[in-house]
C-alpha cells in the first residue's frame, strides 16, 4: 500500500516510464508471533529491503519512517519525504467505546511499548495485551483474543480505507505519537543521482522539518533500541514545537519535555528536548530499564 502511494505519484509525473512494485516480506513481517525486541527491534523491517537496494534489485525503497533506524548505513539516504498522513493513534473497540468509557480491567491490544507506557499511565486499571500482525489481523484479535479494543496508527487505517472502524482518534495529549508516525520515506543508494533527482519533487517542506527534528531527538537520546519513546514535531508557519517523552514500560514513570523555535533549528530543538529529558533522570531510566538492549 505504501509503495503504491509513491508509485502513483511517480507515474502521474513521469507518464512515459513504468514503475514496478516488488513486494519484499521482511523478517519483521514473517515473524509476527515474536516481539520486535526479541528479533532485533524495528530495524528488522528495513534490513532485507536495503539488501535488495544495495544489490540493484530495486532502485528505491518505501518505508514507514517510524520503522527506519536513526543511523543509516553509509551507502543509503532518505532522499524524499512526502506529506505526512494523520500522525495520531486510533482506538478500534467493541461497541465503539472511547478510552474514557473503558471499564476497569478492560483489555487493550497493542504491540507498541510507547503506547503501552502511555495507556497504563493514563488508565492504570486496564490490561495491555501484546499483539502483532498486519492491520486486519490486529482488528480480528478483538474477537480471537477477547480484547475490548486495539490501538493502531491512524495513517495505516486511512490508507486501508477503514476509517469507519475507528472508535476514537486519540489526542496527542493522551498518546504522544512515535517519531516518524504517519510519514513515508523513500530510501535510495547514496550514489544514485538519477533517482535522487527524479524523486525530489515528492518532498514536503513541513514534513521534512518535522521528521528531521523527531529523528534528531531520537539520535541525541540514543533511541536505537525498542524502548518506550515518543517524539512529535508540529510546524506552524516558520516555527516548530517538538515534544518528546520516555518512560518505564509499566507507565509509572514518564519524563516529558518540549521546545519551540525556528524550523531551521530543527537539530538544536531535537538536542534540547533530549538533553532536558536526560538531565531529569531519563538517562538513568533508560540505563536501568533498557540497558541490555
3-state secondary structure of 25: coil
What pLDDT is recorded for position 225?
58
pLDDT at position 36, please? Answer: 46
Q: Given the C-alpha cell 499483539, which residue does it identify? A: 131
CATH of 89-170, one of 3.40.190.10, 3.60.150.10, 3.30.465.10, 3.40.640.10: 3.40.190.10
248: nearest Cα among 232, 270, 229, 220: 229
Instruction: List every span in the chain annotated with CATH 3.30.160.40.
Output: 204-293
Mean pLDDT by 10 residues, the chain (293 residues): 94 96 70 47 73 95 93 95 98 95 95 95 96 93 96 96 97 97 98 98 98 97 76 97 95 96 98 97 83 54
Centre a 10 Å sphere on the Cβ of residue 221 and count the other Cβ atoms it contains.
25
pTM, whole model, 2 decimals? Answer: 0.90
CATH of 204-293, one of 3.30.470.20, 3.30.160.40, 1.10.101.10, 3.40.50.300: 3.30.160.40
Compute the residue count for the chain.
293
Q: What is the pLDDT, as a whole number, of residue 286?
A: 84
Rounded CA-CA distance 84/179 in Å is 12
48 contacts: CB under 8 Å, gap ≥ 6: 24, 26, 27
CB of 20 within 8 A of CB of 37? no
Q: How many other C-beta atoms lie within 10 A of the C-beta of residue 111?
A: 18
Active-site annotation holds for 262: no
Q: Catalytic: which of 67, 86, 89, 148?
A: 67
Q: What CA–CA distances, in Å, run from 229 to 46, 180, 241, 277?
A: 19, 12, 17, 11
CATH 3.40.190.10 in the chain, residue ranges: 1-83+183-203, 89-170
Question: Rounded CA gap, 57 and 19, in Å?
Answer: 13
pLDDT given at position 33:
54
Residue 95, Ramachandran bin (φ over 0: left; ψ between -120 and 50: alpha; else beta): left
Ramachandran region, residue 274 (left: φ > 0; alpha: ψ -120 to 50; beta: rest): alpha
The reply to whether CATH 3.40.190.10 applies to domain 1-83+183-203 is yes
Amino acid at each position: 500500500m505504501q509503495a503504491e502511494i509513491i508509485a502513483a505519484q511517480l507515474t502521474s509525473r513521469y507518464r512515459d516510464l513504468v514503475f514496478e512494485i516488488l513486494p519484499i516480506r521482511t523478517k519483521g513481517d514473517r515473524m509476527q508471533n515474536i516481539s520486535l525486541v526479541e528479533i532485533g527491534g524495528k530495524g528488522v523491517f528495513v534490513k532485507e529491503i536495503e539488501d535488495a537496494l544495495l544489490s540493484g534489485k530495486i532502485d528505491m525503497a518505501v518505508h514507514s519512517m517510524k520503522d527506519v533506524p536513526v543511523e543509516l548505513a553509509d551507502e543509503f539516504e532518505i532522499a524524499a519525504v512526502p506529506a505526512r498522513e494523520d500522525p495520531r493513534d486510533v482506538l478500534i473497540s467493541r461497541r465503539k467505546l472511547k478510552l474514557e468509557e473503558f471499564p476497569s480491567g478492560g483489555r487493550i491490544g497493542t504491540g507498541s511499548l510507547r503506547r503501552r507506557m502511555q495507556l497504563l499511565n493514563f488508565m492504570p486499571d486496564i490490561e495491555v495485551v501484546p499483539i502483532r500482525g498486519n492491520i486486519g489481523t490486529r482488528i480480528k484479535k478483538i474477537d480471537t483474543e477477547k480484547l475490548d479494543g486495539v490501538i493502531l496508527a491512524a495513517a495505516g487505517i486511512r490508507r486501508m480505507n477503514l476509517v469507519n472502524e475507528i472508535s476514537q482518534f486519540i489526542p496527542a495529549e493522551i498518546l504522544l505519537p512515535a517519531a516518524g508516525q504517519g510519514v513515508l520515506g523513500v530510501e535510495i543508494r547514496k550514489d544514485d543521482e538519477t533517482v535522487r533527482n527524479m524523486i525530489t519533487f515528492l518532498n514536503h517542506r513541513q514534513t521534512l522539518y518535522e521528521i528531521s527534528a523527531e529523528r534528531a531527538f531520537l539520535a541525541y537520546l540514543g533511541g536505537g533500541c525498542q524502548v518506550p519513546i515518543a517524539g512529535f514535531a508540529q510546524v506552524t508557519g516558520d516555527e516548530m514545537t517538538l515534544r518528546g517523552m520516555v518512560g518505564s514500560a509499566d507507565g509509572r514513570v514518564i519524563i516529558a519535555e518540549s521546545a519551540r523555535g525556528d524550523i531551521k533549528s530543527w537539530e538544536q530543538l531535537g538536542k534540547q528536548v533530549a538533553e532536558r529529558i536526560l538531565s531529569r533522570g531519563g538517562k538513568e531510566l533508560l540505563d536501568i530499564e533498557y540497558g541490555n538492549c
